[in-house]
């Protein structure tokens, strides 16, 4: 193995897990998912000892990142993406449905970012990386970090719930006008607020509802599980549906519409919105984001 980066941990008031501390520390693997993969591949050592996900950092530790001798060369993916906002620190793109954000496959948003974004001029610039995830079937706004500091800071804003996310979906069945869903997911607290904006009778599904959703927590498949849990699965969902009530061939009717937060460096409020896809407006003619 080849040593490619080292880092001396800063003194912390309270110890934190390395997989949390390591976000943005290394230019080569700036994201949490990248850190976890490097640990799994036994490429990270702390004070000369192989790192684990359970390891806590308190300060002063020497952290070494190695590169496997069989490490594959990064391949650029030619994937045109709509860029909604961009500066030297981060970008916000419109993620198309049907494509993974990241992972082991070649066809991912992460592999297509470098061709669509300007390279940051800042000294801690890294290859652009998604700061959060959207499900493969979900479309909409996705936040991308372009520097180590930006990735670290934006990840912290997500953890501190300082980034407001708004989604729109079409859900099936009769629904209350608005409400809060508080159902645990895999034993963890999960909260979602929703509001029905429009509804229309459906011979097949009873009712179709255009709803605005705001997740208060960030569990995997939270919105899909929560709506299914109250008996109103999202139209087109192939994983969470009632038998006989699934729409195939049109994709998932779930769209990440808005990201709103204070820019961590300029302190200007950033609010980026992507309009609803055409398939939403086919069902609800006057559907718009507000």
User: Which residues are catalytic, by number?
Assistant: 135
How many helical (H) and strand (E) elements, i.e. helices and strands, does the chain have?
Answer: 6, 16
Give the separation between CA 252 and CA 262, rounded to whole angstroms. Answer: 30
Do the Cβ atoms of 248 and 238 come closer than 8 Å? yes
Give the separation between CA 29 and CA 39, rounded to whole angstroms. Answer: 11
Alpha-carbon distance values, 79 to 72, 113, 117, 126, 141 (Å): 20, 8, 12, 19, 16
Kind of pairing, strands 139-147 and 164-172? unpaired
Largest interatomic CA distance in the chain: 65
Give the separation between CA 103 and CA 97, rounded to whole angstroms. Answer: 16
Task: Write the DSSP assignment of 28-91 as a string of letters.
Answer: SS-SHHHHHHHHHTT-EEETTEE--TT-EE-S--EEEEEE-TTPPPP-------EEEEE-SSEE
Tokens of 270: 């950033």
Give the separation between CA 115 and CA 117, rounded to whole angstroms. Answer: 6
Q: Is 207 helix (H, G, I), strand (E, B) or coil?
A: strand
Do the Cβ atoms of 29 and 37 come closer than 8 Å? yes
């Amino acid at each position: 193995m080849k040593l490619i980066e080292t880092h001396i941990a800063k003194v912390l008031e309270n110890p934190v897990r390395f997989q949390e501390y390591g976000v943005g520390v290394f230019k080569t693997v700036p994201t949490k998912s990248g850190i976890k993969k490097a640990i799994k591949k036994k490429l990270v050592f702390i004070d000369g000892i192989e790192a684990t996900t359970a390891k806590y950092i308190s300060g002063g530790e020497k952290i070494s990142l190695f590169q496997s001798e069989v490490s594959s060369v990064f391949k650029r993916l030619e994937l045109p993406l709509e860029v909604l906002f961009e500066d030297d620190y981060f970008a916000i793109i419109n993620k198309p449905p049907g494509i993974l954000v990241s992972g082991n496959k070649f066809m991912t948003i992460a592999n297509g970012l470098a061709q669509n974004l300007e390279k940051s001029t800042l000294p801690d610039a890294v290859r652009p990386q998604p700061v959060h995830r959207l499900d493969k079937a979900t479309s909409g706004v996705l936040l991308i970090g372009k520097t180590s500091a930006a990735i670290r800071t934006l990840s912290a804003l997500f953890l501190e719930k300082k980034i407001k996310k708004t989604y729109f979906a079409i859900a099936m069945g009769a629904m209350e006008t608005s409400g809060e869903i508080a159902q645990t997911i895999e034993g963890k607290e999960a909260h979602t607020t929703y509001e029905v904006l429009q509804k229309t009778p459906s011979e097949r599904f009873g009712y179709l509802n255009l709803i605005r959703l705001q997740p208060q927590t960030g569990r995997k498949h939270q919105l899909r599980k929560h709506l299914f849990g109250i008996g109103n699965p999202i139209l087109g969902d192939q994983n969470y549906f009632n038998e006989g009530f699934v729409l195939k061939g049109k994709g998932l009717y779930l769209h990440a519409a808005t990201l709103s937060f204070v820019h961590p460096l300029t302190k200007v409020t950033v609010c980026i919105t992507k309009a609803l896809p055409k398939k939403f407006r086919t069902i609800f003619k006057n559907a718009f984001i507000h």
